[in-house]
Structure 1
Amino acid sequence: MTPLDMPMKHGDAGDGASIGQRLSRHDGKLKITGSADYALERQFEHAAYAVLVPATIGAGRVVSVDTAAALAAGAILVLTPEDDLGLAQATTFTGQRPEGAFLPLPHEIRFDGQSVALVVAESLEAATEAARRIKVTYEAAPVTASLVQTPEDAGTVGEQFNVAWGDAQAAYADAPVKIEADYHTPREYHAAMEPHGLIAKWDGDRLTVWQPSQWVHAMARNYSDWFGIPMEDVRVVSPYVGGGFGSKGFNYGWEALVPAAARRLGRPVKLALSRPQNFNLYGGRASTRQTLKLGATKDGMLQSILLTGASETSTYGVWPEQVGAATPLMYGTPNYRGQQRIVQVNTVTPGALRGPGKAPSAFGIESAMDELAYAVGVDPLEIRLRNQPDHDRMSNKPWSTRRLREALTEGAAAFGWDKRPMAPRSMRDGHQLIGWGVATGTFPVIRNYGEAEIRVTAEGRVEVVSGATDIGQGTYTVLAQTAADAFGVPVDEVSVRLGDSSLPGSPVAGGSKLAGVMTGAVHKAATAAREELIGLALTHPDSPFHGIEANTLELKGGRLTPPRADAPNVTVAELLRAIGRDGLTVRRDTLPEDMQSPEERKRAWTTMTTAQGPTVGDYSQHSWCAHFAEVRVDEDFGTVRVSRIVSAFDCGLLYNPKLVESQWQGGIIMGIGMALFEEGLVDARNGRVVNNNLGDYLVPTNADVPEIQVISVGIPDTNASLLGGKGVGEVGIVGVAPAIANAVFHATGKRVRDLPITLEKLI
């Protein structure tokens, strides 16, 4: 039995009520005992090892690459910009297929650290030494290192992000109370423990890739497109992922080099990025800036919100960090206008990092609301309660469920907010200034389609099979719970197999949608398998139930029972033996009837074009949260420690509260990092990331994390998903940084609008 096929182990988990139980993780024991099968830990005979050579300039061209010394040092293959790899462009996640050749090692240099060569040798040590001996001649060009080097009017306006209603400018001009402030967030990086990388192996014209992935089907399509082979001849395997946070949802160009090298050498090739390359070769959260203008009445009722913002992107790709993603949703104002610019700099293209767009957006609006509260002398909690919107003004649709008011009031009660004095610097403990802050957050419900297979074994066990991935959020566990409930067996009798592109289709594990999508698909497949089994029991001539004149049977606890107490009562395994079956397999998907063609199915599993946003349908659907933070600031040294956090969430039905609370707490911890620690430092001369390691790029450690209390105020929302759950993974980080910043203001009287909050900004 492999780790993929191992059953759930949860003690006395009951029958028919697994959803909603606080069950431990399916993969927990595997991970702590070292049995979990991570992609890069695979061992192959005759495998070769690859190392990427980084560019040492921030912009310009590669003139030549001298490989002689590397080959003399033991390199068995060196790929450079001069090599024609015969690759084609791959389909983008938005479904477009660009024309022309794909060049993973272009002559043009767009950012410092860009790959200029791939060196392969018999060992990692030999490949590292050979890569060090590569001599590259460049023609350098001027560098724009980061967003902070660009003027306010730089870049182009992203028309798709313009949002407006009413006359915000006129309302702001007429408002009795005005707030205007600039807010800035720096680059942030995923800093996952597991590095990016892959192992590629060819068997004839068939390619297998083992790599940490949040979306194995889309990656299989990319390799198929790059190498011009059928997608059925590509297999991407990723049963476990050691941290992704958005970075492992897509392929990066340098990944094409490894299968290319493996094909040339006729042997497996492995590449694992170095720690600095995990900062340079794929993008984290882009740096942002935003100016917010709030116009309000003297009692703090909003009349107008004006937002102008910008985020950086690369010179060769566009990834906007949407500073207006949360702003128009949080508060009721009759007038709003938001605009964002996209600014090109010499960096790798940014990407999705937990709570993309919403996290920096919330930092701006939630800090500004705190400033408004002090301008009008209204408690920061009260001003939020006064300005809650009754519907989504962007879509003019009612909220599906929005229990943010309950999150604010219940979170405040648990925190003890009513004991908070309004004045800054009014709470202290010796040399420590104490501050309390509040902020709110949101993340949209994103829906999509999924596919799952239910296999019933001869022993009566149930196996869930899907290409969906578990990136740490608990996919193994919640899918087992779903199947157990739908099929009528104890959760201990359910096994789950995931993370393989040869298995049934799934969307990306990102955007907090996978649980909602895949529980729906598993529920449908398990229900169909249950009905098929009952049908066989009633109609098969060798069944113990044949001829009992029952039109249904109950399947509970792994046993089939008719309505009459004196009729047979058998296990699933006994029934299968009686009718001569060695098992049962049922596959179902949640695609509509008009999307069942092979082309449509491929599009659903490999692009984001079938994803549905939060306002598709009759309602506006989002998860919501309210964070209450306590900080202690050393009056002499300016050091800040978060000493307590209480957060309340509306995320609908919780499939497994134990796992959900872990996800919320993880997001909150990342929010602490956003507030106090994380900052990508960039060399202004060449755009090089200076702190490209886990020693200098600071993230919260255990010593930095306080007591965290999380509360659920949600109710099932069946508009959001079949079982009533809403996303939980992303929303936890949104609003944490401004809650801490607002607490720091309450403690010190100093308003920090430029993250992270460091001691030099307080002294």
Structure 2
Amino acid sequence: MTIMETRTKQGDASDGALGGRFSRLDGKLKITGGATYALEHPVEGLAYAVLVQSTIAAGRVVKVDTSKAEQAPGMLLVVTPETDLGLKVASDWYGNRPDDQPYHPLPRDVAFNGQAIAAVIAETLEQATEAARLVEVTYEETAAVASMESPNAGEGKLVDQFNIAWGEAEEALAASPVRIEAEYSTPREYHVPIEPHGLTAKWDGDRLTIWEPSQWTHGMARSYAELFGLPDENVRLVSPFIGGGFGSKATVYAYGAVAAAVARKLGRPVKLAVTRPQNFTSYGGRAATRQTLELGADSNGILQAIVHRGASETSTYADFPEQTSAATPLMYAVPNFSSEHRLVPANTVMPGALRAPGKNPSAFGLECAMDELAYAAGIDPVEIRLRNYAEYDPQSGKPWSTRQMREALAAGSEAFGWAKRSFEPRSMRDGRQLIGWGVGCGTFPVLRAASEAMIRLLSDGTVEVVSGAIDMGQGTYTILAQTAAEALGVPVGQIDVRLGDSSLPGATVAGGSMLAGAITGAVHKAATAARDELIGLALNDANSPFRDTGANTLTVADGRIAVPRGNGPSLTVAELMSATGRDRIEARRNTLPEADQGPEGHKRAWTTMTAIQGPTAGDYSMYSWCAHFVEVRVDEDFGTIRVSRVVSAFDCGRIYNPKLAESQWRGGIIMGIGQALLEEGLVDERNGRVINNNLGDYLVATNADVPHIEVISVGIPDLNASVLGGKGVGEVGIVGVAPAIANAAFHATGKRVRDLPITLDKLI
């Protein structure tokens, strides 16, 4: 997909260089309806598939009666657990794959209410929907665990890899003069992107094309290839625009396998659009969590020990840990530490990654506990964080690559006016409104990955940036245009970016806040190579006006090539290309280490997570950081709570485009407001059904819930974290927001709410 249509002169804005406040280059297409999303791609001869879901939480499908459905108008095919779709289990994210194991996306054994157990395909969506209603299923039901809070859920199983300890935590805790202990919990939360999931699948012989919203075109294309036993090059996944993902669109789900399989059976393209209610069970959101934190400190509020015991909900058929200890060992200096995490199986779809997985609920518990410790010790909540500042990573023992946490607390405090805060709860008010000020901090790891890009300088002076990387709204199109413009010396208005197609050069997943650091490095490398070739052409080609100038190098700026000392010719790129008879210069580069060059290394890097480096790989510990300052207003009579002001300061390294980064931070903060005050997945304990599986009942923050949000960058370039000095931006913004709101609610009312969301009944 190209965004050539969006080219526009936007002033100099640093001539398109990184650091310029450019608006998103794809913005015009989106607001004018010119952006074609995956399910909008026009394909002739479509058939339509609709899922039939289980109505029990656990048991077995005994019989699927399709006789009535098969007589419905427009019916083409019904597939059930009896249907052999001819699929094999694909590799997981790390490339692990069982040998020749069949895959049944429509299982006979039911693991949760809402699981797809059949699919109906018809000529129109309406016909398929009606026929699906006519499918009758007989079950053999068994006892279910509806949620981790069910009486029969049990305490769960310990996950050894998440057990962390140093020092003598229990003994130090017992000896601490100031102690707090509390349990914190978060409910199930869901992604609810504005664009629901779905796909269109089309076969041409043994070649498969999938149009599907994807955060990882190469990884998902590989999964489809393995499902059908195809060579990787026989599958193409196209995803030019994505209407939100937040972690939910990076893998192939059962419905995708079904749609592609029935398209092959029918010999015609099939579209399957997952309905909004089905989006609550076709893939997993954030798991429910609970955690108990015990903090011990001396009389000056200096931490002596942390004892942490956490648990998260998972499915009965596969494990996904929402790590409650993800942030706890990192944030503060503590000489004695102990943390354990358990998984509690329940009859739910396997949970998945939702913006800042692990770090988010972990920070909720820790940052609320730190506020409680501050009040137990009689110390200002910002001051107690500064007193316990970690000068190095307490868990790994490695120095921070960069950590501007003090600066974030200082800048946020000053902009918010924290010095005017009174310490005592219920001491600030405006008429009948109680006012509370709270603070919460957050972090997110720097994950480093390789990517690949191609740069083409064309004869008309324009530049193409080409990669299979994606843009789900975070601004990839724009920052890649800026990266290429800076490296090439060409205005951003002459840059055209093509993304979102697995047939293009390889890219890592857009997840873990790693894509920008990975793909800008690849584009910069390719653009630098193209620029060097352009200068070499100008100096050496027999027809070049620069050949006889005696210059040994040239400058490229504002799209013009010139002699550095300024007393020679000056040509546009187009003029030089014309003079030398070249129609293009092309450079393709990647950021893989030398050992991984070659087909196998490329496949491993672009389609698995095995090449991704964690935050402590190497000599340093690398994280992004933030500090949120929140004001809430609580109606004294009715208990209603509103967030009225937010100031947040971030250390995310070098900011490639402040306008886009600020938008990402605000987006995370808004999701944090929804998490704190509104979002709660409700489950019927009788049958494991998600009760509020729609946007009328599952509440998310809207414009009416969002106050003025001021965001501040205090970061400095971190060249250990990425080639160009940036650290992750997209996910850190949500981390620490919910506890800041909970702490503000306590300051306003004197009541501690430790289980989200914070609703009026908990404050009255």
Bin of the TM-score, shorter chain as denominator length: over 0.9
Letter in 1 for 2:192: A
SS of the equivalent of 1:305 reads: strand
Deviations 1:316-348 (A, max 9, x none): 111100101001111111000110001111000
Q: CA deviation at 1:597?
A: 2.2
Deviations 1:617-652 (A, max 9, x none): 111110000001101111111111000011011111
Q: CA deviation at 1:52?
A: 0.4
Contact 2:2 2:497 in 1 (8 A): no
1:684 corresponding residue in structure 2: 685
Letter in 1 for 2:237: V
1:32 corresponding residue in structure 2: 31
Contact 1:319 1:349 in 2 (8 A): yes
Q: CA deviation at 1:150?
A: 5.4
Do structure 1's residue 514 and structure 2's residue 515 form an aligned pair? yes
Do structure 1's residue 76 and structure 2's residue 61 form an aligned pair? no
Do structure 1's residue 438 and structure 2's residue 439 form an aligned pair? yes
Q: Distance in 1 between matches of 2:462 and 2:77?
A: 49
Q: Distance in 2 between matches of 1:747 and 1:546?
A: 74
1:643 corresponding residue in structure 2: 644
SS of the equivalent of 1:83 reads: coil
Do structure 1's residue 754 and structure 2's residue 755 form an aligned pair? yes
Q: Distance in 2 between matches of 1:120 and 1:17?
A: 49
Q: Distance in 2 between matches of 1:197 and 1:737?
A: 31
Q: Distance in 1 between matches of 2:23 and 2:9?
A: 6
SS of the equivalent of 2:423 reads: coil
Contact 1:210 1:238 in 2 (8 A): yes
Deviations 1:259-291 (A, max 9, x none): 111111111100111110011110000000000
Q: Distance in 2 between matches of 1:715 and 1:523?
A: 20
Letter in 1 for 2:56: I
Letter in 2 for 1:444: P
SS of the equivalent of 1:364 reads: helix
Contact 2:14 2:20 in 1 (8 A): no
Q: CA deviation at 1:16?
A: 5.5
Cα distance change, pair 10–748 in 1 and its aligned pair in 2 (3 A): farther
Structure 1: any 5+ residue segments left out of the alignment? none
Q: Which piece of structure 1 moves more, 282-291 or 72-81?
A: 72-81
Matches within 5 A, 1:185-584: 185-563=186-564, 565-584=566-585
Deviations 1:352-393 (A, max 9, x none): 101110110011000001101111111111111111111102
SS of the equivalent of 1:147 reads: coil
Give TM-score scaled by structure 2 length: 0.98
Letter in 1 for 2:146: A
Q: Distance in 1 between matches of 2:296 and 2:10?
A: 57
SS of the equivalent of 1:330 reads: coil
1:97 corresponding residue in structure 2: 97
Matches within 5 A, 1:165-184: 165-184=166-185
2:88 corresponding residue in structure 1: 88
Q: CA deviation at 1:10?
A: 4.4
SS of the equivalent of 1:365 reads: helix
2:148 corresponding residue in structure 1: 147
SS of the equivalent of 2:340 reads: strand
Q: Which piece of structure 1 moves more, 554-563 or 435-444?
A: 554-563
Q: CA deviation at 1:152?
A: 8.8
Do structure 1's residue 22 and structure 2's residue 31 form an aligned pair? no
Letter in 1 for 2:290: R
Q: CA deviation at 1:14?
A: 5.1
Contact 2:6 2:29 in 1 (8 A): no
Cα distance change, pair 492–150 in 1 and its aligned pair in 2 (3 A): farther
Q: CA deviation at 1:534?
A: 1.0
Q: CA deviation at 1:567?
A: 2.6
**Runs of 4 or more above 6 Å deviation:** none
The percentage of counterpart residues that share the same residue type is: 66
Contact 1:77 1:120 in 2 (8 A): yes
2:116 corresponding residue in structure 1: 115
Q: CA deviation at 1:494?
A: 0.5
Contact 1:631 1:744 in 2 (8 A): yes
Q: CA deviation at 1:563?
A: 3.4
2:163 corresponding residue in structure 1: 162
1:728 corresponding residue in structure 2: 729
Contact 1:464 1:480 in 2 (8 A): yes
Q: Distance in 2 between matches of 1:440 and 1:472?
A: 25
2:593 corresponding residue in structure 1: 592
Q: CA deviation at 1:5?
A: 3.4
SS of the equivalent of 2:606 reads: helix
Q: CA deviation at 1:599?
A: 1.1
Q: CA deviation at 1:428?
A: 1.1
Cα distance change, pair 82–380 in 1 and its aligned pair in 2 (3 A): same
Q: Distance in 1 between matches of 2:118 and 2:716?
A: 54
Contact 1:8 1:477 in 2 (8 A): no
Contact 2:52 2:117 in 1 (8 A): yes
Deviations 1:168-204 (A, max 9, x none): 0110011111111000000000011101000001111
Q: Distance in 2 between matches of 1:489 and 1:14?
A: 13
Cα distance change, pair 413–551 in 1 and its aligned pair in 2 (3 A): same
Letter in 1 for 2:194: M
Q: Distance in 2 between matches of 1:135 and 1:542?
A: 77
Letter in 2 for 1:696: D
Deviations 1:22-46 (A, max 9, x none): 1110111110000011111112221
- How large is the RMSD of aligned CA atoms in angstroms? 1.2
1:711 corresponding residue in structure 2: 712
Q: Which piece of structure 1 moves more, 568-577 or 175-184?
A: 568-577
Q: Distance in 2 between matches of 1:223 and 1:34?
A: 30
